[in-house]
Amino acid sequence: MNRPSTPVKKSPAPEILILIAVSAAVFLPYAFQLTYYLDDWYFVYNNAVRGPNVFHEMFSIDRPARGYFFDIFFTLFGAYPPAHHLATYAWMLAGGIGAFWLLNVLWEENRPTNVLIALLFVLYPGYTWWVTIEYQPISASLALQIFSVLFSLLAIRAGGAGLKLMYAAGALAAGFAYPALVEYAVGAEMFRFLCIHLLVSRSQPNRFFSQTAAAFKSWLLYASSALGFVFWRVFLFESGRKATDVDLFAGKFADQPFSALTDIGNRLYISITNAGVGAWYKPLYSRGGELAWDLPARSLVLTGLVAVVLAFHFLWMRQRFANEGARAYSMPREAVALGLISLVSGAIPVVFFGRFINLSVYSHYGLPVSLAAAILLAGLVCLPPLKGLRHAILSGFVLASVLAHSLLAEKTVILEESLASFWWQASWRIPALRPDATLVTVYPHPNIVDGDLGLPEAANLIYFPEPRDERPLRYPISAIMPTDENIENILAGKHGRTEGYRTFEMVIRYDNILILAQPTPASCVRVITGENHLPSEMDSEDIAQISRFSKIENVRLIENQIPPAYAFGAEPAHGWCYYFEKADLAIQEADWERAALLGGDALALGLAPADPVEWYPFLQAYAVTGDADSLKQLARRIAGETTIRLQACEWLMNTEAALTDEVRETIDVNYCKGSE
């Protein structure tokens, strides 16, 4: 069989269009829906109060380059979420195009497979933090890493001195920038060396030692900027953060070398298996270990659309590349070796610092080795003599990756929309907050936060957005979650503790709390009013324990603060929760008439609560204003809610408010006796 001896010279435009089309279909719709997630709020509030210069202080202790990165991006785009998410996508797409170009340099007669590898790289499902703004520098670092390696290869292959110099300069500049943003990505230098070795071997076949010597010489030149940065980072820079302090971890080897090596070996094994194996299927599983069969319709439609695009593309590619060159047959073995060695070497800097790669909290540690993981997977799939099936199998992994990212984004959008709804409701109920209050936030979804703090930046952005020059920045109010430790401290009446990170500090006052509770997504946010509050059957036991400590006086009855739309979206439509929050506020203000009018408006619109306890402000208002007819009407609505009727009976009959005889009789007949 005759095979062509020269590379196929055809435009890469069709493959690049596929990269753009598929990645855009996956990421762009969500770029306009995603807002802020978890630590993004820390970035946004600090920027709002102190301006973009705050990022230099924020990262001066460990990664100064990120300070410049965020200064530039927040100066250009402010805190407008879509701009930052679009920028993240741009970095990911640039990295994918660079990867496709790099793969064509290594295996230029294997382009149908190369484009699939590039797609797997862009859609690497093991990385779950692309939904945040905080980790944009990691995507930027990865793109710079890819182009640094690519420019190294192009410089070696270039004929003219001018072109060689241009590529070399690009390789060195990008080689310095990528570890400056992500220092643990420096393990990619082994990937650079292996790529150079493959390229050199094309011109020096069957001469392994001379190949290696020539490759090492070239690698040393193009890796010099990255190695120079590592030297500065390790030996000259004084890290103020223990998690990135090299001396700290070097000391562990000196003290307990065997234990340190065992720990590193264990973390390395976990990292390699997660990044190289688990990343391709585990993101499709739920937390309970079951396949996520309950899939959003949009995720299924998106995956089906990509499947159709890939099918048409590869039918056309079979005609375009009917005959693959000889080198295509050596690609699987080379890809397995390149991918596996690069995967291991890329994980070593991560585990040296006491971290490891997982598929959740630490998934960002796996992004620098994502191209190695994609190359390894493709090599393994292409090893068996299954020429007709290998593209179908790799396409299946692409579709699984599309589905995994869509599921992740759909869940994140739900969490972010739920958070925005929570704080819009809180703003309707709470005009202003007293400084030094500590909020105990009960969010309807536990994954809205990832620790024992309740996203204090979101509350401060609403109630204390004024610019101020403080070092460190002191948050006027703090927010905590009802964790076991926090509950114990509240019950014990502890004064509090100071919590801080990088640029801010806040005082958590366990003796001055205000509870904001939304036990389910369908519930409204309730401000717990201390000993006089009416409990909900949906409240947890923890909230029941501490409800009496909630101080309603932390709510200030002054001009209302409005959440900024760039962070919380436009004000939601005025449904049931709006009328509930405003009525509850009117009750605190002793404006009984207004609360009663709000109840009438809600009933006229046919609105009703998901949690029966939310009828309570209206029951109070009707009782105090003497509206016995409305009390009877509400009694019929909660006829089957024995608990709420008994609670209402007890409170209404024991209230100090002056009630008419008709109202007392209505309460006795319709609430007290009706609950027996």
pLDDT range class, residue 287, cuts 50, 70, 90: very low
Q: Is pLDDT above 70 for 419? A: yes
Rounded to 5°, the CA angle 38-39-44 comes to 110
Determine the Cα–Cα distance for residues 557 and 433; give it in Å rounded to an integer. Answer: 9
Contact 439, 517 (CB under 8 A): no
Q: Under a CB-based contact definition with an 8 Å cutoff, are residues 465 and 566 in contact?
A: no
Element (H, E) at 511: none
Determine the average pLDDT of the residues in 417-426. 97
Tell me the domain boundaries of the chain. 13-37+81-412, 39-79, 432-556, 573-676
Percent of all residues in the chain with a pLDDT value above 70, rounded to a whole number: 88
The yes-or-no verdict on residue 189 having pLDDT over 80 is yes
Q: How confident is residue 312, by pLDDT bands cut at 50, 70 and 90?
A: low
Map residue 556 onto helix, strand or coil. Answer: strand
Q: Would you say residue 325 has pLDDT above 60?
A: no
- Phi/psi at 470 (5° precision): -120, 140
Determine the average pLDDT of the residues in 572-579.
Answer: 96
* Per-residue model confidence (pLDDT) at position 37: 95
Backbone angles phi, psi at 301, to 5 degrees: -60, -45
CA 60 to chain centre: 23
Which pTM was predicted?
Answer: 0.89
pLDDT at res. 246? 58
Share of residues in the chain with pLDDT > 90 (%): 60
| Residue 581 bridge partners (DSSP) | none
pLDDT in tens, 577-590: 999 999 999 999 99
pLDDT over threshold 60, residue 288: no
Residue 84, token pair as written in the block: 């930052």
Is pLDDT of 477 > 90?
yes
pLDDT at 171: 95
- Residue 539, pLDDT above cutoff 90: no
| pLDDT attached to residue 4 | 44
Single out the residue of 46, 33, 347 nearest to residue 188, CA to CA: 347
**Cβ pair 92, 136 in contact under 8 A:** no
Instruction: Please tell me which residue, 321 or 530, carries the higher pLDDT value.
Output: 530
Q: Largest Cα–Cα distance in the chain? A: 105
- Between CA 407 and CA 154 the distance in angstroms is 38
Q: Which helix (H) or strand (E) holds 620?
A: helix 616-624
pLDDT at 453: 92
Cα 92 to Cα 85: distance, rounded to the nearest angstrom: 11
Q: Which of 80-89, 96-105, 146-155, 621-630 has the lowest mean pLDDT?
A: 621-630
Residue 497 per-residue DSSP state: E
Which DSSP string corresponds to 95-157? HHHHHHHHHHHH-TT-HHHHHHHHHHHHT-TT--GGGSSTTHHHHHHHHHHHHHHHHHHHHHH
Q: Look at residue 391 in the predicted model and tell me its pLDDT.
A: 84
pLDDT band at 646 (very low <50, low <70, confident <90, very high): confident
State phi, psi for 515 to the nearest 5 degrees. -95, 130
Q: What is the pLDDT of residues 142-169, one digit of tens each?
A: 999 999 999 999 999 988 889 999 999 9
Mean pLDDT of 615-623: 91
Q: What pLDDT, on a 0 to 100 scale, did the predictor assign at position 654?
A: 76
Q: Tell me: the pLDDT tens digits for 228-275? A: 998 888 778 876 655 555 555 666 666 677 777 888 889 999 999 999
Please count the other Cβ atoms lying within 10 Å of the Cβ belonging to residue 360: 12
Query: What's the half-sphere exposure (Cβ side, CA atoms, 13 Å) at 378?
Result: 32
CB-CB contact of 144 with 125 (8 Å): no
DSSP conformation class of 523:
S
pLDDT higher than 70, residue 298: no
